[in-house]
Homo-oligomer: A and B are copies of this chain.
Amino acid sequence: MIRIYRWDQASGCGRFLQLSELPTTIQEACAEQVVWWIDLENPTTEEEARIYREFLPIHPLTIEDITRIRRLPDDGQPHLPKVEEFRDYLFVITNPIPLGSTVDALEQPMQPTQLSAVLTRHVLITHHYMPLEAITSVVRYLERHDEQGERGPDYLFHLILDVQVDGYAPLLDRIVDELETIEESIYERTMASLLNRLLQVKRRILGLRKTLILEREVLARLNRGEFQLVDAREVVYYRNVYDHLVRYTELIESGREMVTDLMQSHMTAISNRLNEIMKVLAMISTVVLPMTLVAGIYGMNFEHMPELHWTVGYPLALSMMATLGIGSFVFFRWKKWI
């Protein structure tokens, strides 16, 4: 599906067009003072050819990077975030969370998808295989404020990045919730499953962290005034998105630290359990074994055992046992050994 938005200075307003209204080449399209945004959502190869070979011819390697997910369906991984400057365009890849994937966040591995953008002075082309919140939300915004196209492709692209980056927030919340759930149950049960779940969350954290760090790098470069296509006027907007990424990175680092702490707690809990079990064993043995010894002694069959004939022999033996049992328990307790 292709969405086409066009703003021109003459009318001062923008609107969404049909593909048939798109001029053949960018030279024709930019004769006057205009701004184009072309969005390809899960496009056919014909649509891709129309845009990337006919309308705005780009480098074959850029096309290769853009179409990575379709070309390598087995791998399924998007291209990692990057920004690359070509002679006549800027090429940016980010990894947004696709629409609807945050709900069942931790049950299956997070699968970020790929958003590829090509920017020139007058044109922004975005490309993605999955429907994205960032795109639909900016489309809705332009429907309400069509004149905003005037601020140029770099401003439009920032709007997309802004929504996209904030799309990580629910996922981060989910991770923190999960960690808190694990934390609550860490002293209850010391099951192997707990560690499994923790390592699963950790893998999720490391994956998200990698994405955040690489995107922060991309935003930092867009910020620095390294690329002329990003106007000085818009740098402050990119800086704002960068700030959000910094915050999320801090959150994810805290999450990572928390995983380490929980693992440590888990190991300590296991060791504590062992100590408790051993204490029970030591207590029982300390109390019962000496008593059993006394019983054993008076169970011997010697002919000459005067105690056996005493009337108070039996009660005496029983109290000796009780004394021994309680005594050894008290003694070890007093020595703080158990």
Count of chain copies: 5
Nearest residue (CB) in B for A296 is: B295
Cβ of A190: which chain B residues have Cβ within 8 Å of it?
Answer: 272, 275
What string of 1s and 0s marks CB contacts (under 8 Å) between A269-281 and chain B?
1111111111111
Cβ of A237: which chain B residues have Cβ within 8 Å of it?
Answer: 61
Nearest residue (CB) in B for A263 is: B264
Q: Tell whether A80 pairs with B192 under 8 Å between CB atoms, given A284-B286, A298-B300, A302-B313.
A: no
Cβ of A240: which chain B residues have Cβ within 8 Å of it?
Answer: 61, 64-65
Instruction: Say whether chain A's binding surface is mostly helix, strand, loop, or mixed.
Output: helix
Cα distance A250–B267 in the bound complex, in angstroms: 29
The one of B206, B296, B311, B332 that contacts A257, using a Cβ cutoff of 8 Å: B206
Q: Tell whether A332 pairs with B254 under 8 Å between CB atoms, given A285-B289, A303-B308.
A: no
Contact (Cβ within 8 A) A236 B59: yes
The one of B84, B246, B258, B285 that contacts A239, using a Cβ cutoff of 8 Å: B84
Cβ of A291: which chain B residues have Cβ within 8 Å of it?
Answer: 293, 296
Contact (Cβ within 8 A) A300 B299: yes
Contact (Cβ within 8 A) B246 A195: no
Contact (Cβ within 8 A) B274 A202: no
The one of B243, B284, B301, B310 that contacts A289, using a Cβ cutoff of 8 Å: B284
What string of 1s and 0s marks CB contacts (under 8 Å) between A302-336 and chain B?
11110111110110011001000000100010000
Is A216 part of the binding interface, using a Cβ–Cβ cutoff of 8 Å? no
Contact (Cβ within 8 A) A265 B300: no
Could you write out 8 A-B pairs with CB less than 8 Å apart? A79-B243, A80-B247, A267-B268, A284-B328, A289-B292, A291-B296, A295-B297, A304-B314
- Which residues of A come within 8 Å of B, CB atoms? 59, 61, 64-65, 77, 79-80, 82, 84, 86, 187, 190, 192, 195-196, 199, 202-203, 206, 210, 236-237, 239-240, 243, 246-247, 250, 254, 257-258, 261, 263-282, 284-286, 288-293, 295-305, 307-311, 313-314, 317-318, 321, 328, 332, 337-338
Give me the 3 closest cross-chain CB pairs, A-B, nearest first.
Answer: A295-B296, A298-B300, A299-B299
Given contacts A77-B247, A267-B271, A304-B311, 18 further A-B contacts (CB under 8 A): A59-B236, A61-B239, A61-B240, A190-B272, A192-B268, A195-B265, A196-B265, A206-B257, A273-B275, A276-B337, A277-B337, A281-B285, A285-B285, A292-B296, A296-B299, A297-B318, A299-B301, A304-B314
